[in-house]
A and B are shown apart, each in its own frame.
Chain A
Amino acid sequence: DQQVKQNSPSLSVQEGRISILNCDYTNSMFDYFLWYKKYPAEGPTFLISISSIKDKNEDGRFTVFLNKSAKHLSLHIVPSQPGDSAVYFCAAVGGADGLTFGKGTHLIIQP
């Protein structure tokens, strides 16, 4: 059973608009949530994280929102740029464990 779910395999957004990527989780023991970005033939790179005690974290064009009661988080990218085209993985961690990843969402920014 998947503990971290990304239900949209792909998302297409026009350049300059807002991209919203969604993620749901089932394990209430997770205490950190992260977003990783992955280009083809490269390893995932860390983008932004949020602690379970917060509901929002912002870093430049990237904002992550956490709704603990709904076990849902989202990544907002605004404005979207062509270089944002990549696969985005939602991940979660509890305690000192390794990361549990979702399947990823392929974001395509259209000019």
Chain B
Amino acid sequence: EAGVVQSPRYKIIEKKQPVAFWCNPISGHNTLYWYRQNLGQGPELLIRYENEEAVDDSQLPKDRFSAERLKGVDSTLKIQPAELGDSAVYLCASSLVVVAGGFDEQFFGPGTRLTVL
């Protein structure tokens, strides 16, 4: 079974340019997460989807970041315009179901390493 797929793996852009990342979760996983991992830090949650609904986007910088998960499968994370501080690895993860009071393992993709010059 294929894991979480992300593309591109690497992206280098100049500041003020737009950029988009794509994620295809594991088939059947209804919950999808976007994390950002800065150098020397652990991943930090940006947004969580249950099916096509964003149920937690409190950490998403909404002035420049946007995300969508049309049809509750693939997801796209966009930054417009990018700033120098956006350089990081952007990780996508998916899980089968999130039950109140329970936990389901999150499976991570390889990430997209963004460098903003």
Contacts and interface: CB of A to CB of B under 8 A. Distances in A.
B45 interface: yes
B29 to A, nearest CB: 14
Contacts of B98: 96
Interface string A87-105: 0010101011111111110
B56 A98 contact: yes
B106 interface: yes
B101 interface: yes
B93 interface: yes
Interface in B73-105: 91, 93, 98-101, 103, 105
Contacts of B100: 95-96
Size bracket, chain A contacts: 20 to 34
B40 A99 contact: no
Given A89-B42, A98-B56, A43 B101 contact: no
A44 B43 contact: yes
Contact of B91 (A6, A43, A91): A43
Contact of A98 (B48, B99, B107, B111): B48
A93 to B, nearest CB: 6
Contact of A41 (B45, B56, B101, B110): B110
**Central interface residue in A6, A45, A51, A101, by most chain B CB within 10 Å:** A101
Interface of A: 4, 6, 9, 31-32, 36, 41-46, 49, 51, 89, 91, 93, 95-104
Interface of B: 4, 33, 35, 40-45, 48, 55-56, 91, 93, 98-101, 103, 105-111
25 contacts: A31-B103, A41-B110, A42-B111, A43-B4, A43-B93, A43-B109, A43-B110, A44-B43, A44-B91, A44-B108, A46-B105, A46-B107, A51-B103, A91-B42, A93-B103, A95-B101, A96-B98, A96-B99, A97-B48, A98-B56, A99-B45, A99-B106, A100-B45, A101-B44, A102-B42
Closest 3 A-B residue pairs measured CB to CB? A101-B42, A43-B108, A98-B45
